[in-house]
């Protein structure tokens, strides 16, 4: 892995989405370890521990606990220590949210419901494997 960055972090409050994401990522990107988070607070706690081993963060927007994915992207994506980390914003609802997340520093966005091949393509691009 490039600079020891071998982890993909996935935050989504919906357990079925976390399970499917985990399966898709393990099947298509076995060289990466996957860490799952059920809300923005747990993801942010992980980020505070450092991201030297992280290559990609996929975050849902609306999650319980008071920290949304859009806030995490705004707060972290443009920090110098995150320059080698890519963010994919996953959301439902208003179409304007995705482009706004990219403007805030996300590498890309995916709108729910996300077909599996679209998910894999977005991750592949973010990881620089395409």
Rounded to a whole number, what is the distance in angstroms from the first to the last CA of the chain? 16
What length does the chain have?
130
Residues 6+ apart with CB under 8 A from 117: none
List, for the chain, all residue ranges whose pLDDT scores fall below the cut of 70: 1-2
Q: Which tokens go with 1?
A: 């892995």
- Give the model's pLDDT for residue 56: 98
- Give the model's pLDDT for residue 38: 97
- Give the model's pLDDT for residue 2: 58
- Give the model's pLDDT for residue 130: 74
C-alpha to C-alpha distance for 1 and 21, rounded to whole angstroms: 21
């Amino acid at each position: 892995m490039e600079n020891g960055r071998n982890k993909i972090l996935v935050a989504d409050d919906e357990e079925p989405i976390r399970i499917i994401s985990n399966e898709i990522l393990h099947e298509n990107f076995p060289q990466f370890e996957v860490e799952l988070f059920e809300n923005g607070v747990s993801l942010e706690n992980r980020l505070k521990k450092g991201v030297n081993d992280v290559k990609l963060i996929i975050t849902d927007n609306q999650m319980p606990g008071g920290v949304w994915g859009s806030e995490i992207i705004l707060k972290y994506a443009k920090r110098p220590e995150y320059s080698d980390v890519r963010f994919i914003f996953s959301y439902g609802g208003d179409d304007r949210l995705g482009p706004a997340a990219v403007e805030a520093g996300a590498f890309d966005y995916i709108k729910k419901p996300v077909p599996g091949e679209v998910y894999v393509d977005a991750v592949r691009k973010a990881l620089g494997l395409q």
